[in-house]
Structure 1
Amino acid sequence: MIRCIAIDDEQLVRDLLEDNIRQLPFLQLIGTYKNALEAYEVLQQEQVDLIFLDIQMPRLNGLQFLQSLQRPPLVILVTAYEQYALEGFNLHVVDYLLKPFSFERFVKACNRANELFRLQHGQPDVQDFFVNVEYTQVKIVVADIEYIEGLKDYIKIHLSSSPQPILTRMTIKAIEEKLPSAAFIRTHKSFLVAVRKITTVKRDLVCIGIKEIPVSEFYKENVTRIINRPEY
C-alpha cells in the first residue's frame, strides 16, 4: 500500500486528485493540503510514500518545497505549466501530469510510481512455473502475466513481454490454483486477470492499456472488491 498526500492550491484539483486516488486500490490517501507549508507537519508525523505536488503555489512553490526535503518520497508533479517539466525530471520526479489530465493518464503515472515503490521495497516471492507448449516446457514468469483466457481444455496466457499469448492444454481452474490469489481475479468464467496490470475499470470491462477484458455479471463483485479494498 502506497501512502500518499496531495498538495495543490486549487480546491477543484484537490477534489479531483482525492477522487482519483480513492479509485486505485494500491493508494491510501493520508490527506490533501492547499500549500506546501501545511504539508511539512504531516511529513514529520506520518509515513508518506508519494506526493502529488502542484508547482505554482503562493509563498513556497512545489519545486522549492521538493528541494527543501532531505529525503523526499516519490513525487508526481501536477501543474498547468509545461515549462517546468525538465526541472522536475532533474529532481527525479516519477511523472509530470499536465492539467487538465485524464483519469487514464493519472493511472499511468500511478502505475509508474507503484512499480518504483515495489522495486524500492523488494518483491514478494512468487513461484514461477512451466507449461507444456508443443512438447516443450516453457517458463511462465508470474509477474509477466497480464491475463489468462480460458478455451475449454486450453488456456491462452497473455504476457507483457510477448505480443503472442502462450497456448497450453490446461483448464482455467487449474491455472488459477497455481497463482497467488491476492494478485489475480476472475472477471468472467473464461478470464483471469492480474490485478496490478489493470489500468482502468469500466461498467462491463477491465482494461490493461488498450486491451479490454470482459466482466460478467456473476464476477462483478470481484472487481468491486478490488477497487474498494484498502490493500492487496
Structure 2
Amino acid sequence: MKFKCIIIDDEPPAIRILENFITKISFLEKIGVFNDSLKALEFMNIQSVDVIFLDIQMPQLTGLQISKIISKDIKVIFTTAYPDYALEGFELNAIDYLLKPISFERFYQAASKVNIVPKREINSNKELEFTFIKTDGKNKFSKIFLNDVLYAESLQNYVCIHTAFQKIITHSSLKNVIESLPQNDFVQIHKSYVIALKQIEATDSFSVFINNKELPIGATFKNAFFERIDKNKI
C-alpha cells in the first residue's frame, strides 16, 4: 500500500531534501508540493491525501493552524527548525516532529510510523492512549503510544523506554515513569524493570521474555508479579 503525501514548506532546500527522501521509501508517493498554505488546503479539498510533511513557520497560515483545519484522517509530520513547538504539535496528534536539518535515518523513523498507524486504527474502536516523555533538550517531548511500550529500564539517573519501534531516554526515575503508566497494564518485575503485561512472550521462575529479550525477575517483586500472571492463566 502506498500513502499519498504532500510537502508544505516555503524553503526550497528543505523541499528538495524531503522530495529526495520520499523517493527512497517504497510506501510513500509524493502527489504535491506547496509553498503556499492556502493552495495546499485547496488541493486537499479535491484530492485525497494520507500524509503531510508540514513546516510550522509558513506565511498566511502556520503549520499548527493548518493541522487544526484539515481532516483528522490525514497524518501530520511536522518539519521545522524550531523545537519550541514540539509539545503543541503532539497535542494536535502529529505522529512525529522532525527538526531541521533532517537526516534520512530520522525521516525513515517518522515515515515508518505512517505505515503502522492505519493498522492500529483498524484494530481498535477507541482512540489510542499515549503519553509525552521529556527527552533531550529543555523543551523537547516525545510522544509514545502506550500500546507500543515493551518495557522501561532504569539507567541510574535516566530511564530508557523500549517500544516496538525505538528507544527513548528520559532524565527521570523509574518511580516517576511507573506513576505515569496505567497500573492495570504494567507491572514492576525488578528494581530496574517495568514491563507491559500484554507484551510478555513467556516467563519462568527467574525471567520474563519480551521481544526476544530476557529480563530478570527480582525477589522483591516476584510474588506480586506472579499474582498478576495467575489472573490470566488458562
What TM-score results when the alignment is normalised by the length of structure 2? Answer: 0.52
2:121 pairs with 1:120:
yes
Q: Per-residue displacement from partner, 1:106-133 (whole Å, max 9, x unpaired)?
A: 00011012110333356xxxxxxxxxxx
Residue number in structure 1 paired with 2:211: 161
Residue number in structure 2 paired with 1:86: 87
Q: How does 1:32-111 map to 2 (within 5 A)?
A: 32-111=33-112
Shift of 1:70: 4.3
2:64 pairs with 1:26:
no
Q: Aligned letter for 2:61? A: L
Shift of 1:41: 1.8
Identity of aligned residues (%): 43
Residue 50 to residue 121, structure 1, CA distance change in 2 (3 Å): farther
Residue number in structure 2 paired with 1:4: 5
Residue number in structure 2 paired with 1:194: none
Distance 1:24 1:105 in 2: 13
Residue 89 to residue 36, structure 1, CA distance change in 2 (3 Å): same
Alignment RMSD, CA only? 2.3
Q: Tell me if structure 2 keeps the 8 A contact 1:94–1:109.
A: yes
Q: Aligned letter for 1:73? A: I
**Unaligned ranges ≥5, structure 1:** 123-143, 145-159, 165-232
Residue number in structure 2 paired with 1:17: 18
Q: Tell me if structure 2 keeps the 8 A contact 1:66–1:72.
A: no
Distance 1:67 1:28 in 2: 24
Is the deviation greater in 56-65 or in 66-75? Answer: 66-75
Q: How does 1:140-179 map to 2 (within 5 A)?
A: 161-163=211-213
Q: Aligned letter for 1:52? A: F
Q: Per-residue displacement from partner, 1:42-80 (whole Å, max 9, x unpaired)?
A: 211111011000000111110011112243500000000
Pairs aligned (count): 130
**Unaligned ranges ≥5, structure 2:** 124-163, 165-209, 215-234
Is the deviation greater in 25-34 or in 64-73? Answer: 64-73
Residue 2 to residue 70, structure 1, CA distance change in 2 (3 Å): closer
User: Which segments of structure 1 move beyond 6 Å, counting only runs of 4 or more?
Assistant: none
Q: Aligned letter for 2:72? A: R
Distance 2:92 2:44 in 1: 19
Residue 32 to residue 81, structure 1, CA distance change in 2 (3 Å): same
Residue 39 to residue 76, structure 1, CA distance change in 2 (3 Å): same
SS at match of 1:101: coil
What TM-score results when the alignment is normalised by the length of structure 1? Answer: 0.52
Distance 2:119 2:22 in 1: 18
Q: Tell me if structure 2 keeps the 8 A contact 1:48–1:73.
A: yes
Distance 2:19 2:60 in 1: 23
SS at match of 1:29: strand
Greater RCO (CA < 8 Å, at least 6 residues apart): 1
Residue 56 to residue 16, structure 1, CA distance change in 2 (3 Å): same
Distance 2:72 2:17 in 1: 27
